[in-house]
Structure 1
Amino acid sequence: MDELIDYRCVDFQKLLILKAKSLHLSDQQCYVLLLIMTLDEIGVKPITPLQISKICSLSVQKLDDILMSLVDKHWISRQNGSLNLKPLQRLLLDQNEQSTDQDIDLVGIFEDAFGRSLSQREVQLINSLKCQGYDDEMIVDALNESVKSGVITFRYIEKILDNWARYGVTKRYAPTNVSTHQEVEQSIKDYKWWENHE
């Protein structure tokens, strides 16, 4: 089905207008999505909030709020500073990927790590990380990495995420098989070196 998206076999603008009400999109959200689709269709790259603000009458603050809500609902994503419509296109084609993410309380996790309440500026920094396309799990992994390093600052966390994005890391910690590790340790503990006859 991704071929339908890649080869532009479907008119997603018409499909969006027809399905906007059933997706519970507000008129402004629908309008912004149509603007993004139009910019994509005419070949504007990268599609950024600044590019959108040049062709619409919404204030920059209102546009940011709408884009943030669309990113939070996983209808669009941000990759390397550019907006990506594939999540919405899959949703319109009824291919919505089942999200395995539970809603993570990022502010609570950060407050626990920092040992204090976050300022409004720090909460905005967390939101900006989400707007850049990082999912909640990656942000938490970067926070854990900074805690291990003993450098708990937002700048350091952002640099960790930037490095991971540059090298294509999508999941920081692969699941490990703990039982195998314990079995190996047990076999080492049980090794009777004194019985080794050469």
Structure 2
Amino acid sequence: MLKDNFLAWMKEGNVSIPSFLLSHYKRMGLSELEFMVLLHIQHFNEKGNTFPTPDQISDRMNVDSSECSSLLRRLIQKGFLQIKEEYRENSILFEMYSLEPLYDKLVQFFLKVQNEKETSQVKVEVENEESLYTVFEKEFGRPLSPFECETLAMWMEDEHHFTMIKAALKEAVISGKLNFRYIDRILFEWKKNGIRTPDQAKSHGQKFRLHNRRDKKQEIPQVSKTVPFYNWLEQ
């Protein structure tokens, strides 16, 4: 019995909703009730009923038939729904609801959102680029030369994120070697060693400096302590 009920439930099928529509229907100008009406129309279509009546739709919702009719008219007026006519068997004219206007609007809105994201990203990149030049000039205590500006632009084009360039600048300041050649060497070493985040760079820099201090200690010559010889026979 349980198996039969489960199979019957599975045969009811599912309603596929584009996740983008679910996330953006409010921004597209749809209310919750309008959105639900469109979903019910889609479900009716998938079940073979291409022109459900307001009564049939309202039976599934917490609205009466009159309000459902108003929702349908509003969806048509706003360009989310369309009534189409087509001839079927025996040349009988049938009316049907079409969701093509909804999906046309969905595609257009998706392209608009993508364009907004790209514009926003470009704006962020420009702001980051400007702040990067400002940070360098502040650390160097002077305006950057044309060659240094060109080098900085080259780093940004060479897949070096602005946070990593800032981290390399900080590493150069800590090491007391504030020049573009040293910073370029740092970025090259990081890229070669797969260092891609400021935290990884910080850890790598600490290990590098610790290693250098140990090497310098080993290079210091050991001064032998000799006990002066006193010749008692000369006294």
**Higher-helix-fraction structure:** 2
Task: Compute the TM-score of the two structures, normalised by the length of structure 2.
Answer: 0.31
Between 1 and 2, higher relative CO (CA 8 Å, sep ≥ 6) is seen in: 1
For the pair shown, which has the larger CA radius of gyration, 1 or 2?
A: 2
Task: Compute the TM-score of the two structures, normalised by the length of structure 1.
Answer: 0.37
